[in-house]
Amino acid sequence: MRTTQYIGLTNDALEYVKNAIRTETIPLTFGMFDEEVKGTRYHMPVPSGPNTEYWVDEIVQAEPWSSGPMIFTCLQAHLKKECGQLCDMGRCFEWVLNPTIKNGQEYDPIKGHYYL
């Protein structure tokens, strides 16, 4: 059966965002039937220094096809300084494309590996 398969974050990413102060739902992408797939913005504790906000957004990292799109996500970090400067902190907790995955698995959320 063809369907959109939301896989989401790796286990390490899920462990990291457990420290979120609050969360909010954000648009992520659209599935194969134009259904909206939502992600999450995680407001995290602010790092020490001249910082006022720190948050990570769940973003689409890869959408390989296996009877429909499989949506793998990672985190995109953002930091706001006291002066108002917004710093893009880059991606973190990305999935790793690994052709050595065995036993018919398409992905392993514990290791954060996938191969389709």
Q: What residues contact 98, with CB distance under 8 A and at least 6 apart?
A: 111, 113, 114, 115
* Long-range contacts of residues 35-44, Cβ cutoff 8 Å, at least 24 apart: 35/4, 37/4, 37/6, 37/71, 39/73, 42/17, 42/75, 44/17, 44/19, 44/20
Contact in structure between 114 and 107 (CB atoms under 8 Å): yes
* DSSP three-state, residue 38: strand
105 has pLDDT over 90? no
> Which pLDDT score, from 0 to 100, does residue 68 have?
85
Delimit the domains of the chain by residue range: 5-114
Lowest mean pLDDT among 16-20, 66-70, 78-82, 102-106: 102-106
Q: What is the pLDDT of residues 34-79, one digit of tens each?
A: 999 999 999 999 999 999 999 999 999 999 988 889 999 999 999 9
33 has pLDDT over 80? yes
102 has pLDDT over 80? no
Amino acid symbol at 7: I
- When pLDDT is averaged across residues 80-103 and rounded to a whole number, the result is 93
CA-closest candidate to residue 78, choices 30, 115, 43, 33: 43
